[in-house]
Structure 1
Amino acid sequence: MKNGLLVLICIILAIGTCGGPLLTRLYYNNGGERIWFMSFISTAGCPVIFMPLVLSFLRRRNHNNSENIEKTEIVLMETPMFMASIVIGLLIGLDNYCFAYGLAYLPVSTTSLIVGTQLGFNAIFSFFMVKQTFTPFSINAVVLLTAGTGILALRGGDGDRPADVSHKEYVVGFLVTLTAAVLYAFILPFVELTYKKVRQEITFTLVLEMQLVMCLAASCFCIFGMLAEGDFKKATSR
């Protein structure tokens, strides 16, 4: 059961990771200009998580009834994890904005290469935040992969710059996308650190609850950005 869920989640993650940037760039290529809107779309599908959570609750309730346990907790998450999830969610919202901003001025190929440098930053943050251990082989792999993707991204220069994007916009898009890679590299070990610090058993249901809170917080962050930019007033034209 656990292996099946793991495979399913990996497939969904692969589809989203590959398809998301392509759809975002397609939106910009067809005249889209609302960066906050595209940031919001990244986590707007989070209500889908309610479906497996309801199924998990029903399963727990049936099990408790068979064991003559009267009360079944609807929510397993406790306050410390809830607060940490909100903070992480706000960081994810900011990261989504940086990523959407970069895609507005960079081609998908360059964006993917820049995001690939996340591996190196991830290794650094993991070492300091969760005491991740590294072997000489893993260090060598991280350095080579990060350096390779970084060089390829820089090598592209203005050659792959979209025709309607100025040099300044291209450079800013490059730097903002790099910021997105660094920020997400920080978020991943932050999540692992949260798992280690909370005094709860980490179950599949608890992880789903945490994902739901993070995505809701990220979506709210982007909604405030949309309100500030007046995206809702211009939504009818899109």
Structure 2
Amino acid sequence: MDTVKRKYLMIFNCILLAIGATGGPLLLRLYFVRGGKRLWFASTLASAGWPILILPLSVSYIFNRRGSAENGREKFFTITLPLTIASASIGLLLGLNDYLYTHGVSLLPVSTSTLIMSTHLAFTAGFAFVLVKQKFTPYSINVVVLLTVGAVLLGLHSNNDKPVNQSSRDYYLGFFLTVGASVISGLLFPLAELVYTKAKQSLTYSLVIEMQIVTAVVASLFCIVGMLVNNDHKVSTYSEFSYITLFNSSAS
């Protein structure tokens, strides 16, 4: 892939990331504000978009199989068993992260939860230094200091943005749950980088997508199991969404 294609692919990924990072928390908070109660169901949706990765993976397979056929070696899946196990382990952490974040958002305003989650950059820098020996730079140190101080100040002034009729206990529970999600989120990227570094095979586009699919599938299964254990699936979906629709209609 030449430099121009890489640049356009990076821009496209940045656009998708911006849409998800801004729209996701707003929709999730709106769900709980309008009467949603299904924490595990909402957590499952955080990783349930993995089937869309099948499309670019299929395109990659088509080109790879053409090249492999010309070279006399045709291979469908490129991911190995050790990489599958490593990706599945990261998926378990991602599923836990999805639940902690969803539960935290259900108890906090979007502004507060977003600011807390932004501290994952600081945790990412710390874990990257420990796991993959990535050195600190003046920019990363600046991010760590500013975001840490911001989170501390937010905790000290938490009563100013506490939702109406919410107890301090629930607010602080949401605060610490979101901090936990931020810590795990900061660990995920260095772990993935460590897996890439330790992989005893060439790192290709297809391999990265396959690993992401395994990670997202395991995260979704983790949340689905939690949904079954906590009987979250027995909540009447029709009545819940009917209530939300009625609420939205009356509000408008």
| 2:243 match | none
Q: TM-score w.r.t. structure 2 length?
A: 0.89
- Percentage identity across aligned positions? 41
TM-score, normalised by the number of residues in structure 1: 0.94
Deviation at 1:62, TM superposition (A): 2.1
Kept after mapping to 1: 8 A contact 2:119/2:144:
no
Tell me how far 1:68 sits from its aligned partner: 4.9
Corresponding residue number in structure 2 for 1:34 = 38
What is the alpha-carbon distance in structure 2 between the residues aligned to residue 78 and residue 96 of structure 1?
Answer: 26
Work out whether residues 92 and 222 of structure 2, in 8 Å CA contact, stay in contact via their aligned partners in 1. Answer: yes
SS at match of 1:199: coil
Q: Does the 8 A contact of 1:116 with 1:149 survive in 2?
A: no
Q: What is the CA–CA distance in structure 1 between the aligned matches of 2:56 and 2:211, rounded to whole Å?
A: 13
Query: SS state of the match for residue 158, structure 1?
Result: helix
Decide which moves more: 109-118 or 26-35: 109-118
Query: 1:56: which partner in 2?
Result: 60
Aligned partner (choices 3, 9, 28) of residue 5 of structure 1: 9
1:54-133 correspondence runs (5 A): 54-65=58-69, 67-69=70-72, 71-133=73-135
Aligned pair partner of 1:25 in 22, 29, 33: 29
Q: Secondary structure at the match of 1:43?
A: coil
**Runs of 4+ deviating beyond 4 Å:** none
Indicate conservation of the 8 Å contact 2:68/2:75, yes or no. Answer: no
CA RMSD of aligned residues (A): 1.5
Q: Indicate if the aligned counterparts of 1:25 and 1:104 stay in contact, CA closer than 8 A.
A: yes
1:226 aligns with 2:227: yes
How far off is 1:187 after superposition?
Answer: 1.1
Aligned residues: 235
Q: Deviation at 1:147?
A: 2.9
Deviations 1:86-131 (A, max 9, x none): 0000100000000000001000000011112222222111111000
Q: Does 1:144 align with 2:145?
A: yes
AA at the equivalent of 1:90: L
CA-CA distance at 1:2 after TM superposition: 2.0
Specify the alignment match of 1:181 in structure 2.
182
Code of the residue aligned with 1:158 in structure 2: it is N
What is the SS of the residue equivalent to 2:174? helix
Query: 2:65, 2:76 within 8 Å by CA — same for their partners in 1?
Result: no
Give the Cα separation in 2 of the matches to 1:151 and 1:231: 34
Q: Secondary structure at the match of 2:159?
A: coil
Q: Distance in 2 between matches of 1:140 and 1:63?
A: 45
Other-structure match for 1:15: 19
